[in-house]
A and B are shown apart, each in its own frame.
Chain A
């Protein structure tokens, strides 16, 4: 861990001001916001991230961690802790996919620490990224190559990959947000803006070190989840080698608007198999207007993984991903709306 100076932010504006002047963004930004710290401090200890200054935004928790549920939907403050949201009765009852994706992530302790905003921005678990003794990692060191291609890549992505990076996006909650058509509220040096959550993350392409569309100094202040017909008939299915405390091998967030067994509308986002929280639009299209049978679910899953590219050890992932999606869809269809 490199030396850094530590400051506490006492209002949003000064936090943004503190971080807005820097040229380099994201991984290499010398000024980083510190919220739960569960990802940032870990990466600093192993020398992957080397900020010179930490701006502790936890003092803003009072204003940035509100949970508001009303007839229009749900608004979750960016600094709300994962556990608080996961066990919020309204979230559990009316937005099950959100609650489940949080409860199935990390551990109780980490969920008590980690903020929602930090969670959706969490970095990949790719071992080649996380260990600086590996020379080749385009995400860590642009232009250095990708050791995971041709290496140990069982847990790596099959969707959204590029010749430069196949690192998996490891989170769960962002998929749940995408499945509910959520938007993210961002405040930055230029004021406030809102974008759909599925526009927050960037495909690796030839710039895998740039993982999202946030500019310097921008802070995620809240997530807005509309209360739509599919919200209650939603679930998060996470498949992994052990029962708990593991990142997904494959996962699916699904939200279904069903009428008499026919899909009126649907949202699907996949985890554990893609470089970003992956909205499976092609699968959604297959399902719309169709009765939700096993065959249709299977066709949708085929469509979702049609663009998959595998790399050896993860050759099994398209099949597992398809099975996961089929299971999730059929389970969701059984839920009460």
Chain B
């Protein structure tokens, strides 16, 4: 393992404006649908109006008569043209194994049934509205049955087993204090503001895809497999992504159809689906149900933890998030039972949505913990302290680091928690009831193989190339800071190129792994450059002749020895030959399993991330932690629920780019509020169709909903997680926040609402 060596320059951890910020504030950042291509034709989707059944007939006559219509794809002319590829969640590429337009079969509402292509967007849209589809409709199953618990259904035999230890049932029976309740979370959609656009253009047998992506290498290889092409003939360009949150990670069905349409017309084809279609074109967070039973002794020590979850998936796919992997290791407890069930329905296959497992599962556990604190008459922070653990209670593996209680202490102090009157309904301000609540945030520190190419020119300019992604996370900036730090050059000298599958492969921007994975690869490449320059310098006839190459560092544009002797970068580079010095590093996570260590780079080159989860490391567990406190205000008459104040404290290892990290945590906390109070995709149960499929009816917070939000970084050093000591945090901020809000609602009103979102009608 080429562990990066010394740190220098102090660039890692330095607050700085985003290096791509100027492009973003001037409107010149090029998102995939912004690339102008000559002679573009426009595609418009026709999507299914039923959730289950078959297409009896598609009438195209009226659509074909629209002036400017060039082509219409339906199953009749695309059947067999797209090959079936394994799903992302099963180690493949696609968001679903459902194959739209491969047969008349309809699996879910909003499934693509035709793609109209025309000279103009206006003509394509008109013609799409004139495509008439006749269906043979069957009664669909919309999701969960109304009754609880759900009937036991198939669990995915491929997934890891349900964590269990001791005898939870017996311990629960004998517990001094117990709580037992069902909790539910609703269907949610990512709704990035950028739509799910795709533009494809062919040059001979070379396909270029402009599509916002969290995984350009996955997209490239997946489409190549679907279209039976050599992956080297496919290029994906996605330098900027207008929000993703998991929705742009896996390959969705639309891409191949746009590629096919472009091939048939031999010209670029651009698809910009509507907002409404975006509820079905990609994935979603499926609704979940939970049964949580907690038993404790009179001192608050957990004696039994039972967490059973039910999740909805599509008919053919066993997608599940199985957050019990996290909820089973959060607190010390000798007896733990967990189980996860999948309920199949006539729905699209769900997928990752920001903190996929933790948002619903930690919500259930952290709500139950608050209920237990109430039952014990104990402060909820103290209950967490009593049950804090430095080992995974299932198998006793130690945490590499865990600063949960430090986070609680810092956040509680900043929030003023000590001034809380624990009596529900006791605090108010005029006509507004006030409630204070808290909850734990946690997220596994995942790391994946990644590659980076770094070039350092004699003029001190550096170029970093890696097929990573900046989906708003600040990746450009974090990567540049790392390179500037390791190469000893100013930040403005570093050029970063991302989001292009012709660059060295990097993992999916998901699971909060990207900064850890990519920055370690970048640091390795920089270190290799330093090593080569040092070797050259010590063996040449200069200032540094005879020095120990391991002692030399790159700093302030020079190669420097500990005794202060140095030589300019230019001299050191020119010695190695003409032009810049270049290194291509392949970083393999220290925590990776033996097979990943052996095969990881083969996999990533083939578009498979090979990520190692922080909960499945061989000899320890690695997680980032946080503590979140919220204030809710509820009007005593009309019951609007507002959240004027949020404080979150987080310990997430080394913070590479504090400015962008803070923004991510800030955004995460607000996501958590939305998850508790606003977001829910409504399903018409009679027909298994989404109803509120736009941004006026699917609510996300607006500026007026958010007031004071404070993010506190709790310093943490952890070199077990990876050489640079980075824990991801993109998904940390919005874990537990929904529970903190629900707990605060209880404190304000004395009413425990267990079904999200919490709305006016729940409190009337």
Contacts and interface: CB of A to CB of B under 8 A. Distances in A.
Contacts, number: 88
Given A1-B126, A127-B697, A151 B686 contact: yes
A162 to B, nearest CB: 21
Interface in B670-698: 677-678, 682-684, 686, 691-693, 696-697
5 contacts: A125-B697, A150-B686, A151-B691, A241-B640, A316-B764
A320 B639 contact: yes
Contacts of B276: 46, 131
A242 B678 contact: yes
Interface string B125-144: 11001000000000000000
A92 B431 CA distance: 25
Given A128-B691, A131-B693, A241-B677, 15 more contacts: A1-B129, A45-B125, A125-B697, A131-B276, A152-B682, A152-B684, A154-B761, A242-B704, A243-B702, A244-B705, A245-B704, A250-B638, A316-B760, A320-B761, A320-B764
Nearest to B640: A239
Contact of B637 (A245, A246, A327): A327
A3 interface: yes
A241 B699 contact: yes
B677 A243 contact: no
A244 B682 CA distance: 21
A323 B638 CA distance: 6
B49 interface: yes
Contacts of A125: 696-697
Interface in A215-268: 237, 239-247, 249-250
Q: Mostly helix, strand, loop or mixed at chain B's interface?
A: loop
Contacts of A57: none
Contacts of A239: 638, 640, 760
A326 interface: yes
B686 A244 contact: no
A82 B702 CA distance: 21
Given A127-B697, A152-B691, A243-B642, A326 B637 contact: yes
Contacts of B122: 1
Interface string A39-77: 000000111000000000000000000000000000000
Contact of B692 (A127, A132, A243): A127
Identify the interface centre among B126, B639, B701, B760: most chain A CB within 10 Å of its CB.
B760
Contacts of A47: 129
B638 A327 contact: yes
A246 B692 CA distance: 13
B642 A324 contact: no
Interface residues of A, number: 38
A237 B637 CA distance: 12
A190 interface: no
A31 to B, nearest CB: 19
A2 B123 CA distance: 9
Nearest to B692: A127
Q: 4 smallest A-B Cβ distances: which pairs?
A: A316-B761, A133-B49, A243-B704, A244-B704
A24 interface: no
Contacts of B635: 327
A129 to B, nearest CB: 11
B133 to A, nearest CB: 9
A244 B640 CA distance: 12
B223 to A, nearest CB: 29
Contact of A240 (B125, B129, B640, B686): B640
A125 B692 CA distance: 10
A7 interface: no
A249 B760 contact: yes
Interface in A305-335: 316, 319-320, 323-324, 326-327
A147 interface: yes
Interface string A141-160: 00000010011101100000
A139 to B, nearest CB: 16
A329 B62 CA distance: 56
Interface in B138-193: none
B759 interface: yes
Interface string A88-119: 00000000000000000000000000000000
Given A127-B691, A323-B638, A327-B638, A246 B696 contact: yes
A254 B725 CA distance: 61
B638 A320 contact: yes
A239 B637 CA distance: 11
Contacts of B684: 147, 151-152
A38 B47 CA distance: 25
Nearest to B121: A1
A99 to B, nearest CB: 18
B638 A243 contact: no
Interface in A11-47: 45-47
Nearest to A316: B761
Contacts of A154: 682, 761
Contacts of B703: 244
A134 B701 CA distance: 28
Given A241-B759, A243-B705, A323 B696 contact: no
Interface in B102-138: 122, 125-126, 129
A47 B126 CA distance: 8
Given A131-B276, A246-B696, A323 B702 contact: no
A2 B678 contact: no
Contact of A244 (B431, B702, B764): B702
A320 B692 contact: no
Contact of A247 (B640, B683, B696, B701): B696
A169 B79 CA distance: 45
Nearest to B705: A243
Contacts of B705: 242-244
Contacts of A316: 760-761, 764
A47 B49 CA distance: 15
A323 B686 contact: no
B551 to A, nearest CB: 59
Interface string B587-606: 00000000000000000000
Contacts of A323: 637-639, 764
Contacts of B704: 242-245
B702 A245 contact: yes
Contacts of B431: 327
B682 A242 contact: no
Contacts of A245: 702, 704
Nearest to A131: B276
Contacts of A3: 126
Nearest to A252: B638
A189 to B, nearest CB: 31
B9 to A, nearest CB: 44
A127 B678 CA distance: 18
Contacts of B47: 133
A316 B759 CA distance: 11
A250 B640 CA distance: 11
Nearest to B696: A125
A1 B759 CA distance: 36
A297 B344 CA distance: 50
A311 to B, nearest CB: 13
A132 B274 CA distance: 14
Contacts of A250: 638
